[in-house]
């Protein structure tokens, strides 16, 4: 059974960067994409972007272009999402989720990582 396990909560100051990890258990890096979705407190889900872990290609939401970088480490089946120039509005729970290649659906999801941006 595939499981995604994310890194722990982070507290960052405005202007800093944060890097969240998402490790895949029970599967290799083949035949799927990893997506990142965030949810601000009391708000809805927001798609941030995706990475093909096999080849490292990425696609980002226009809103985050220039501020987000998604990478992977094939030796540890771990994907990373780094968000820079943090501001208070970036306070949210960040989720990773798996999409079997070109299926358009996300399952499973990681447990979520709370990132708090505060001075």
Partner 1 sequence: QSALTQPASVSGSPGQSITISCTGTSSDVGGYKYVSWYQQHPGKAPKLMIYDVSNRPSGVSNRFSGSKSGDTASLTISGLQAEDEADYYCSSYRTSSTFVFGTGTKVTVL
Position among 17, 31, 74, 111 found at the interface with partner 1 (CB under 8 A): 111
Q: What is the DSSP letter of 30?
A: T
Q: For residues 31 and 49, what is the distance between their CA atoms, to the nearest angstrom?
A: 17
Q: Is 37 in the site for partner 1 (CB under 8 A)?
A: yes
Contact in structure between 53 and 75 (CB atoms under 8 Å): no
Q: Cβ closer to partner 1: 2 or 16?
A: 2
Residue 13: CB minimum distance to partner 1, A: 26
Sort residue 25 into left (φ over 0), alpha (ψ -120 to 50) or beta: beta
Q: Where along the sequence are the contacts to partner 1 (CB under 8 A)? A: 35, 37, 44-47, 50, 59, 61-63, 95, 97, 103-107, 109-112
């Amino acid at each position: 059974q595939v499981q995604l396990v994310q890194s722990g909560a982070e507290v960052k100051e405005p202007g800093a960067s944060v890097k969240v990890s998402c490790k895949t258990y029970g599967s290799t890096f083949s035949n799927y994409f990893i997506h990142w979705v965030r949810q601000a407190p009391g708000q809805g889900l927001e798609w941030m972007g995706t990475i093909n872990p096999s080849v490292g290609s990425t696609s980002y939401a226009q809103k985050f272009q220039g501020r987000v970088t998604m990478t992977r480490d094939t030796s540890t089946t771990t994907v990373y999402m780094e968000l820079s120039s943090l501001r208070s509005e970036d306070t949210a729970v960040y989720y990773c989720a798996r999409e079997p290649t070109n299926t358009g659906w996300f399952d499973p999801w990681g447990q979520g990582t709370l990132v708090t941006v505060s001075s």
